[in-house]
Amino acid sequence: MNKLFRACPDRTPGGTRPAIYADMTKQTHLLIAGKTGSGKSVVINGIIYSLLIDNFQDECQFVLIDPKRVELSAFRPLPHCIAYASEPGQPVRALSFALDVIEKRFSAMQREGLKKYPGGQVYIIIDELADLMTTDRKNVVPLLQRICQIGRAAAVHVLAATQCPLSKIIPTEIKVNFDSILGLKTATKQHSRNIIDISGLENLPPYGNGYYITPAGGRLVKLPMIPESEIKSVIQYWTR
């Protein structure tokens, strides 16, 4: 496996970069982890951008949890945003709100005799999981566990990112509920093991590379980057 990581080039020929985004109805939840500057924000911005390109607000909604008040604040004015949390205490309330959405969807499904919710998708996007785990772990862990466990049928997905890939930040009871993981460059072998259970992420080139694990398997990827001007343009389109 380490040879595979060391073989990952800094660049790939034009047109051969593997796509990193997958159908969220298949991968359900995504954990993104790696050291500072490894590309977590690039991935999150790209996913949000791709969703905004294709979906109206009744087809795609966001619960944004942004403890650092930096990466997700630009998306707050979007009509797609049904909750935004940045202040202390707000993330737990946002997760509780998301769980209420799931429960209401299950009630609607039971009335109609459905196994999957037929309406729009909800994406819970957590910019820094470490902040939640260090400030209110007691409440965050059971809420996040429950949301991940029952969210799939209700068309509710979790995308959580962290630049602190320690075992106390990504405990087993949380990690097992993410069926897809994007491991970016780490500082140490142990951090790599915490993310993908094996070493190797520490050998990735510095920027724009990752190891992407889905229910279909794992593969090395180059991270696509959406220009900031394009992201601003799509935000302006939806908020004008």
Top-tier CATH class for 21-233: alpha beta
- Encode pLDDT of 30-41 as tens digits: 999 999 888 888
- Encode pLDDT of 140-171 as tens digits: 999 999 999 999 899 999 999 998 888 888 88
* Alpha carbon of residue 102 to chain centroid: 18
Annotated domain spans of the chain: 21-233
Asked if 221 and 213 count as a contact pair (C-beta separation under 8 A), the reply is: no
Type of residue found at 50 = S
Q: How far apart are CA 14 and CA 19, in angstroms?
A: 13
Sign of CA dihedral 181, 176, 148, 162: negative
Strand 81-85 relative to strand 60-65: parallel, antiparallel, unpaired?
parallel
| Stretch 173-191: mean pLDDT | 91
Asked if 80 and 53 count as a contact pair (C-beta separation under 8 A), the reply is: no
As to burial, measured by CB atoms within 10 angstroms (0-12 exposed, 13-18 middle, 19+ buried), residue 5 is: buried
- Encode pLDDT of 77-94 as tens digits: 999 999 999 998 899 999
